[in-house]
Every structure is written in C-alpha cells, then in structure tokens.
Amino acid sequence: MAGILLHLPNLITISIILIFLAATTPSIGADHHHEFEGKPINRKLIGLKKEKLSHFRFYWHDILSGNNPTAVQVVPPASNTSATAFGLINMIDDPLTLAPNLTSKMVGRAQGFYASASQQDLGLLMVMNFAFSEGKYNGSTLTVLGRNSVFTPVREMPVIGGSGLFRFARGYVQAKTHTVDLTTGDACIEYNVYVMHY
C-alpha cells in the first residue's frame, strides 16, 4: 500500500504526458498519403486493350514410367486399402505439345500437382500453371484449379487467372483422354482451353 502511494506522483506525471501526446498527435484518418485504398486507373495505363476470347488446343503428357518421369508421387495415399488412392499427391512438370506425339512441337509445360481428393470415385484436385514457352506467349501463364473425374469423357475445369498476356484471364478447360496406359499410368490428354483475356 505504502509502495503504491510512493509512486502516485509519478503516475500523475505520466498521465499528464500521455494526455498531452494524445492531444498533439494528428488523427490517422486525416493522413491521406498513408490511407490504404484502391484508386481507379484507366486500363490503357497498364497496356490492356479490348477483352477477347481465345481458344487453344494442346496435348498434356503425364509420364510416370521410365527414367525421366514428368509426374512424381510426393505424398502416398492415406491408406493402402483405398480404391481411389485417396490422399495421393503427384507433382507434375508435364510437357504440352501441339500434337499427340510427344516429339511434336512443345508449347509449354503444366507445372503443379494433382491430388486424389475423392473417396467414392476417382476425382482429382488439379492445381497447375500452364507455363507457355512458344512465340509471343513465352513467359505467360494460365492457372487451372478444378476437379478432374478422370473416367468422365470430357472433364471441365476452371481457368482462374493468368499472367503476362493472360492478365485478368478467366475461362475453362476441357480435358479429353487421348491415350492412357493402364499398366504404367502414362497418359496423353487433349486440352481445349477457352479463355477471356485482354
């Protein structure tokens, strides 16, 4: 008790200083240069022209066999008894070519992973960037995130964004199995991409 009384004058001094500081500090709302707020700009300022719809077709090669696989298991299934390999994750760096033949012109790579996300049927969660390397698209990317029920003839997945020539991209892909080797799992898939971009 005596100790608190001893400190009382100090406390009063500190309180007075704090009140003085509060009265002289400008309020944050008045400081316009440090406000966090989006400013409207003209789209031409960042080189955006008219929005257009484009269609691309290429073939996606998922190679699990051999000495140079392009798809590698990074997480095993959660249980060995799961018929759908639920929990499995394969990391991919799959070539994209203009024709089904792997030796045809490569236009980019599909980089990302797919995961077995369904316990009832074979439904993959696909998370991948199409990193293009051909012509004016070299360096531009499209991002696909969606559900791939691999035994359905045509699987549709959303294109959720892009970079470079595909800034502000949105659209969808349709994936159709061209060939699949059920022993090795190697697959060639036809991708038709429909994308809105500038």
Ligand X SMILES: *[C@@H]1O[C@H](CO)[C@@H](O)[C@H](O)[C@H]1NC(C)=O
Nearest-angstrom CA–CA distance, 124 and 152: 12
- Examine residue 179 and tell whether it contacts ligand X (CB under 6 A): no
What minimum distance in Å lies between the beta carbon of 86 and ligand X?
Answer: 11
b or e along 169-192 (b: 16 or more beta carbons within 10 Å of the residue's beta carbon)? bebebebeeeeeeeeeebbbbbbe
Candidates 41-49, 61-69, 90-98, 133-141 — which segment interacts with ligand X by CB under 6 A? 133-141
Distances (CA, A) of 125 to 91, 107, 169: 12, 24, 20
Q: Residue 87 gets which letter from DSSP? A: T
CB 96 to ligand X: min, Å: 13
Does position 119 interact with ligand X (CB under 6 A)? The reply is no
**Which sign does the torsion angle of CA 89, 90, 93, 96 carry?**
negative
- Selected binder of ligand X within 80, 153, 182, 183 (CB under 6 A): 80
Instruction: Decide if residue 27 touches ligand X (CB under 6 A).
Output: no
Q: Which of 65, 138, 179, 184 binds ligand X (CB under 6 A)?
A: 138
Q: Residues, the chain, total?
A: 198
**Residue 139 contacts ligand X per CB under 6 A:** yes
Q: Binding of ligand X at residue 79 (CB under 6 A)?
A: yes
Taking only Cα atoms into account, the Rg of the chain, rounded to an integer number of angstroms, comes to: 28
15, 54, 133, 184: which one binds ligand X (CB under 6 A): 133
The contact set with ligand X (CB under 6 A) reads: 79-80, 101, 103, 133-134, 138-139
